Amino acid sequence: MICFGKRTVLSFLLFEFVSGLLLLPVAEDTTTLRFAQSSSLSFRDRPFYRRSSRLATIQGQRTILKMSNDAVGFIGIGIMGEGMVGRLVSEDIAGTPDKPLIIWNRTRQKCVDFKDKFPDKNVEIKETAKEVVESCEISYCMLSTPEASKAVFESKDGVLAGVTEGKAIVDCATLAESDMKRMNDAVTEKGGYFLEAPVSGSKVPALTGQLIFLCAGSKELFDKIENNGLKAMGKASHFFNTEVGFGTRAKLVVNSLMGTMVAAFGEGLALSENVGLDPMKIIEVIGSGAIQSPVFGLKGPKMIAKDHAANFPLKHAHKDMKLASDMAKSFGAEFSVNDKAEELFRKAREDKELNVADEDFSAVYERIHKESKGESSKKRTNSD
């Protein structure tokens, strides 16, 4: 139980006081169990249980008292983070007089720009990620890559340095399962709560609160934020398992499918052009049949017009396909369609001439044209 109303806290303290005097052995077990249930570790595995069950009881009390802090933290105000924090303040989950929004980003200017956009909201910018975590009960993280996440998590002024007992970390990035597990272990070892919560959706769904959260880890933390922060930022939240890793697995399945879809769609459009079909007409045909997808409808006309303004950068799409490919290998799953598409994305990402790594992942279309020998493709590639 993370969220405690005044009455619950009072009853809890009363219970602790009375049981401490009269029923210490029972109280220790009960409180330890309650506290230990807050973590994904079994309560007998928790280090402070092993050290002393009485200490666990005391720490349990401290945890609850700390939970009265309603500030919400957000680390990483990037393409996704900006929209997500916008939802937290516009839905009054944070940024109100009693629930400040505390933010940090490597490029500080993005925090300043965000604060300027919401002058009437209670937004505080910190100098380090550590300070954000120290100031808040719950901190969300939305960093780009495993490397970025590790740097921000493990540095001396980073996320982990700010974690103490009872702190809750929700990591929304798409990383490897091993990254999530490492963070979970480090946070829970310090008595904190961890939830992996990668998202399906892109820049616009982030801005409009239409993300889909794919969660695993602390169920207690999930229950606390499902109808709160997650609801403000998303249209659905799924909880897969108390074992961290299952959220990432789900996310990688979804994103690898999206990447292969866009690669296959791009090949279909390029082929259409090369065989003399109007690709806009083909988009219309696809959109009216059983294989229609919002991705095709949104991206198709832009791909043809060479408009690859980044909603989901190609370098991140490639990262996810590579992570999915590694995951499939480690589980011995056939994944050759994804792997072929991953190769296309990698070539696009590494192509210095095309220079599309930071553009939208739809720009894989340019690499498809570059690899095609058809007249339309040659014309398109040479017109740059």
Instruction: Write out the residues near ligand NAP by the rule CB under 6 A.
Output: 76-81, 105-107, 110, 142-144, 148, 151-152, 173-174, 199, 201-203, 311-313, 316, 320
AA identity, residue 25:
P
Closest distance between ligand NAP and the C-beta of residue 249, in Å? 15
Q: Smallest Cα–Cα separation from 145: which of 241, 76, 217, 240?
A: 76
> Are 181 and 236 within 8 A, CB to CB?
no
Measured from the CB atom, is 110 or 347 closer to ligand NAP?
A: 110
Phi, psi of 238, rounded to the nearest 5 degrees:
-115, 135
C-alpha to C-alpha distance for 230 and 237, rounded to whole angstroms:
7
The two three-digit tokens of residue 38, written as one number: 């807050």
Measured from the CB atom, is 152 or 168 closer to ligand NAP?
A: 152
Measured from the CB atom, is 142 or 233 closer to ligand NAP?
A: 142
Closest distance between ligand NAP and the C-beta of residue 180, in Å? 11
C-alpha to C-alpha distance for 321 and 263, rounded to whole angstroms:
12
Q: Smallest Cα–Cα separation from 226: which of 238, 240, 208?
A: 238
Measured from the CB atom, is 43 or 140 closer to ligand NAP?
A: 140
251 assigned to active site: yes
Closest distance between ligand NAP and the C-beta of residue 104, in Å? 9
C-alpha to C-alpha distance for 115 and 129, rounded to whole angstroms:
17
Q: Torsion over CA of 166, 210, 348 and 309, rounded to 10 degrees?
A: -120
Closest distance between ligand NAP and the C-beta of residue 251, in Å? 8
The two three-digit tokens of residue 187, written as one number: 């946070």
Read out DSSP for 2-68?
----HHHHHHHHHHHHHHHHH-HHHHHHHHHHHHHTTSSS-GGGSHHHHH-HHHHHHHHHHHHHHTT
Measured from the CB atom, is 2 or 143 closer to ligand NAP?
A: 143
Measured from the CB atom, is 71 or 152 closer to ligand NAP?
A: 152
Identify any residues that bridge with 234 across adjacent strands, giving them in sequence order. Answer: 211
Closest distance between ligand NAP and the C-beta of residue 59, in Å? 31
Closest distance between ligand NAP and the C-beta of residue 203, in Å? 5
Which residue is nearest to ligand NAP, using beta carbons?
Answer: 78
Measured from the CB atom, is 36 or 232 closer to ligand NAP?
A: 232
User: What Cα–Cα distance (Å) separates residue 12 from each residue in 6, 31, 165, 166?
Assistant: 10, 10, 18, 16
Strands 138-141 and 72-75: parallel
Which of 251, 299, 315, 319 does the annotation list as catalytic? 251
3-state secondary structure 134-195: HHCCEEEECCCCHHHHHHHHHCCCCHHHHCCCCCEEEECCCCCHHHHHHHHHHHHHCCCEEE
The distance from CA 163 to its chain's CA centroid, rounded to whole angstroms, is 19
Closest distance between ligand NAP and the C-beta of residue 144, in Å? 4
Q: Among all residues, which ones are annotated catalytic?
A: 251
